[in-house]
Amino acid sequence: MNKLGLIGKTLGHSWSKRWFEAMFAREGIDNFQYELYELPSLDGFRNWVFEQGLIGFNVTIPYKEAVIPHLDALDEAAAAIGAVNCVTREAGRLVGHNTDAPAFAETLQPLLQPWHTSALILGTGGAAKAVAHALRELHIDSLMVSRTPEKHPGAISYLEACEAAAERFLIINATPAGMAPNEALTPWPYTYRLGMKHICYDLIYNPEETRFMTEAELCGAQVCNGLLMLERQAELSWMRFSELH
């Protein structure tokens, strides 16, 4: 049996296992299994991977950046992004990839209008870095937004982002704010800044409509959740995993 999985700290929100199991059933694949692995830390991580017999795995919060020192190599995109969400085991080496960035770009592109030339990315973690990379590929200028901008060179504060939203009509939530079980939270309290020109893209997919999305939609903005991105990044990960057995 070829073992795959998802690593993260808390995975109760994740739909990755159900996506892979549904795909295995649909395609008649019976020699792969996909499990969720909640890890309190990455101490002894490499040994754990080989002891588990994993041939590949996905990575989620909060390890998309922290996993990199434990890997032997990164592909070109992952190295440029500085974050990994997919790892393959190749001849005893752990190789990092990023399927988040192309998945985000592919799902955002059909929504874009000529005025979507600049963006605000809420967050500064691994998901935010993948989004920033994808936006560069789409020739869209972006600023990362942080609650502690002094710790993240180039990032702006949320108050600065509130002002910038008057001209930046693409806002992406790359934070966990609003993710189950904390559905009451929102990363963006400045709903009065939103209007019909805005796209508010929330990488969260559980719940399928976050408070951020609900409030943005009431202001006339176009909204999108992260479900299509999840499915596309899983497909891209599977393309890599399926070549390993």
Q: How far is 18 from 10, CA to CA, in rounded Å?
A: 16
Phi, psi at 163, each rounded to 5°: -65, -40
Which residues face 223 on adjacent strands? 200
Report the interhelical angle of 227-241 vs 100-108 (nearest 10°).
Answer: 140
The torsion defined by the Cα of 105, 108, 111 and 114, in degrees rounded to 10, comes to -50
Q: Which of 17, 64, 151, 197 is catalytic?
A: 64
Phi, psi (degrees; rounded to nearest 5) at 224 = -150, 135
Q: Is 228 helix (H, G, I), strand (E, B) or coil?
A: helix
β-pairing, 32-38 vs 2-8, is: parallel
- Residue 61 and residue 63: Cα distance in Å, rounded? 5
- Give yes or no for a contact between 168 and 122, defined as CB atoms under 8 angstroms apart: no
Judge whether 64 counts as a catalytic residue: yes
Rounded alpha-carbon distances, angstroms, from residue 100 to 17, 94, 104: 17, 18, 6
- Whose CA is closest to 144, among 166, 119, 163? 119
Active site residues: 64
